[in-house]
Structure 1
């Protein structure tokens, strides 16, 4: 099995590669990763098989890059929020909760892409699971930092509680009533974030 991070890191940015990734992102999230074959991605990306395999030697490479690209977008958004709200960790945490609510209300919402991918790949050593684990480690670490800045006495525990809320809210919003789940997430998130008001 090839190394997705290594192979995609060396790939040159190109319009064809961007089309492949955009197509994979849309199809994988909407229909499931295993349900979408390489031929479908090639056809809908309007590239040749040679072009596809030049950028992504295996489907695993494409899947890991799809998840990494989603993670990078989240990292950029959170970095912008932390910069805009510098010095106010409670406001950043509230912005994170608001972003989760907005995601659950978006058209075509189908739950958490990382949870969905993990459900399709049970092997913890698979590159897909590694990409998911890297994202979750980063995100949890960000929450720990923010909780510590807030002065929370147990930032690691609070971060785990926030992760449970996130996972549960995104799953519940897909399976149940979105607005009810959004209200529950906001209330529970505030209870963790506002353990004490300054």
Structure 2
């Protein structure tokens, strides 16, 4: 059994990852070099490479942390024990909180996908894995309202979420958030009232 000191992440690794998360999100992944991260984290290059063999490993750790935070938000919404519709609304409100947060500049995963378009890139694959999880989570939620049409409705939700995340850093975030929440309410109303023999309506 590892000792407490062995089981805790090292302080240097935590500083490196915290610094990378802040810089990658604020300025872009390709725009931030290893030297900048090392300097701001106040560690040596040797320390960085001991924890992260290359920049790509640090990028993957960054995305893993963002993924973990978003999964936590979803778990929190589900754990509240609300109806599926209200759980979806709670998840929507957590998205709105992100858009309203200081320094918001869009979806970390969509930003990363734009910088790593190669489908074979581990970073691109990490983005796709996160998005599969998110779509499956929303699909499972909606399927408890009614199973037929759950995935198309979930895709509709994800598209609205993507639009809100993209527009939220370009235009008035309050207007974008209001529009998104109204769209989610409308989607849920239409979904619950439709027999889903055709596509989900707007």
State the TM-score, normalized to the length of structure 2: 0.88
C-alpha contact (below 8 Å) 2:118/2:124 kept by paired residues: yes
Counterpart CA distance in 2 for 1:104 and 1:35 is: 23
1:83 to 70, 79, 86: 79
- Length, aligned pairs only: 186
C-alpha contact (below 8 Å) 2:15/2:41 kept by paired residues: yes
Tell me by how many angstroms 1:153 deviates.
2.7
Which position in structure 2 is the counterpart of 1:186? 181
C-alpha contact (below 8 Å) 1:85/1:91 kept by paired residues: no
Counterpart CA distance in 1 for 2:189 and 2:101 is: 27
Stretches of structure 1 that go unaligned for 5 or more consecutive residues are 1-10
Counterpart CA distance in 2 for 1:35 and 1:155 is: 39
SS in 2 for 1:174: coil
1:133-180 C-alpha deviation (Å, 9 max, x unpaired):
111000100000000011153010011001100100010111122111
Tell me by how many angstroms 1:190 deviates.
0.8
Aligned runs of 1:1-198 on 2, under 5 Å?
Answer: 13-85=9-81, 88-151=83-146, 153-195=148-190, 196=192
Counterpart CA distance in 1 for 2:138 and 2:9 is: 32
Distance 1:56 1:138, change over 3 A: same
Counterpart CA distance in 2 for 1:79 and 1:60 is: 28
Stretches of structure 2 that go unaligned for 5 or more consecutive residues are 1-6, 194-202
State the TM-score, normalized to the length of structure 1: 0.90
Of the two structures, which has the highest relative contact order with CA contacts closer than 8 Å and spacing of 6 or more? 1
